[in-house]
Amino acid sequence: MTVVLVTGGAGYIGSHACKALASHGVTPVTYDSLIHGHREVVKWGPLEVGDVGDADLLAAVMRRWKPEAVMHFAGLIAVGESVREPAAYYRANLAASVTLLDVMRHAGVNTMVFSSSAAVYGAPERLPVAEDAPLAPTSPYGRSKLMVEQMLADHGAAYGLKWAALRYFNACGADSAGETGENHEPETHLIPRALMAAAGDIPYLDLFGTDYPTDDGTCVRDYVHVADLAEMHVAALAHLAAGRASGAFNLGTGHGWSNRQIIAAVERVTGAPVPLRLAGRRPGDPPVLVADPNRAEAELGASARHTDLDAIVESAWSWYRRHRR
């Protein structure tokens, strides 16, 4: 494979995927509206500025670059916002994906690696959660991701689309060389918020819920390093290019960290206390979300290599220190 179109390539996970693609000799062509993405992290291939919902522009970009596959990261990502503004989420995550698949079909591009989410499981009954667990998303965000997965399967059956839906657990960390990292506006995720509080850039971290049925009363999540996610996307592409089966894959480590354990790691790494405000539970948060990563390991040959929590937090801290606003 020589050229891959990367929608959302100027975003957090998309930019790391571009770096991984380039390291495997593939040219990533970033297609990004730059509404949430950042021009500065498009370093490994050309940038085309546009919206995935713009069929004409997308078709022109496909004609210009002739990609053999698409990695589709572009979309809205905030679960809480999706509850307040579902129309925006169905437009950006679902309708734009319909357009993208139409344009791909007309251009003869029949391979897609899609950014899905553990949000498709909702609050799982059994842990760790495997891909055949019930799909019961609890937010418009999660439902929009699940609908795209279903659409991919239908396109596979009818048009021969080869697809992989990668269900991320909690993406974290930053590129070890400091070339890209997390830069959301607004930032809502735990590790960057805790770093902001440790740095004194926000007065305190709201800790959402201390009465969950877990060892220390706080939620438990499966934190997977973004560089591992990026390599797993390349592995998924290779899997599809080799003619192996399309499907959904969990991308996680199989290990959970509680919110309090994350905060303790942030304090160790930064050497500063994280001032806390004990807030109530955040609506929609499942108590525990940990992946069964076996399918990705067995079928994609891909697993998380970054398992040391302090090293993960250190990579995020080192990026944050240099890019804090």
Q: Which residues bind ligand UFG (CB under 6 A)?
A: 77, 79, 117-119, 141, 170, 188-190, 193, 205-208, 219, 221, 259, 282, 285, 289
Which residues are catalytically annotated? 141
Neighbours of 268 (CB within 10 A): 12
Minimum CB distance to ligand UFG smaller for 8 or for 45: 8
- CA–CA separation, 78 vs 37, rounded Å? 15
Task: Give me the least distance between CB of 227 and ligand UFG, in Å please.
Answer: 17
User: Omega into 128 within 30° of 0, i.e. cis?
Assistant: yes
Partner residues linked to 220 by β-bridges: 258, 288
Minimum CB distance to ligand UFG smaller for 50 or for 256: 256
Give the count of alpha carbons within 13 A of 124, CB side only. Answer: 22
- CA–CA separation, 223 vs 307, rounded Å? 9
Task: Give me the least distance between CB of 171 and ligand UFG, in Å please.
Answer: 7
- CA–CA separation, 46 vs 27, rounded Å? 8
Q: Rg of the chain over CA atoms, in angstroms?
A: 19
CB 10 within 8 A of CB 42: yes
- Distances in Å between the Cα of 322 and the Cα atoms of 39, 195, 313, 316 are 17, 12, 14, 10
Q: What are the helix (H) ranges across the chain?
A: 12-23, 55-65, 79-84, 86-89, 96-107, 140-159, 190-198, 226-241, 259-270, 294-295, 309-323
CB 249 within 8 A of CB 296: yes
